């Protein structure tokens, strides 16, 4: 699970441009918005091989909650 948390935090940093991100950081509170959610989802898939449903961001957008909802993308 640490791996997915690191991936989510790194994705938040890249997409939002804030270096002040930790496990409790809420994506929307640090400057993210709905269009940037799609960038995070894309980054997680392409760079880290993980998938997370967009609805997770509406339920709980804290990095640790998003990381917990991530699943590995099966190779095709």
Q: How far apart are CA 1 and CA 30, in angstroms?
A: 22
What would the pLDDT profile of 20-70 be if each residue is shown by its tens digit? 899 999 999 999 999 999 999 999 999 999 999 999 999 999 999 999 999
Q: Please tell me the number of Cα atoms within 13 Å of 70 on its side-chain side.
A: 29
pTM over 0.95: no
Q: How far apart are CA 61 and CA 76, in angstroms?
A: 29
Give me the sign of the Cα torsion angle 22, 16, 43, 34. positive
């Amino acid at each position: 699970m640490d791996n997915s948390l690191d991936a989510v935090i790194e994705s938040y940093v890249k997409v939002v441009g804030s270096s002040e991100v930790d496990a409790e950081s809420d994506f929307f509170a640090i400057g993210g918005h709905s269009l940037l959610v799609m960038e995070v989802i894309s980054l997680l898939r392409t760079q880290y091989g993980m998938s997370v449903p967009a609805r997770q961001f509406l339920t709980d957008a804290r990095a640790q909650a998003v990381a917990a909802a991530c699943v590995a993308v099966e190779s095709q």
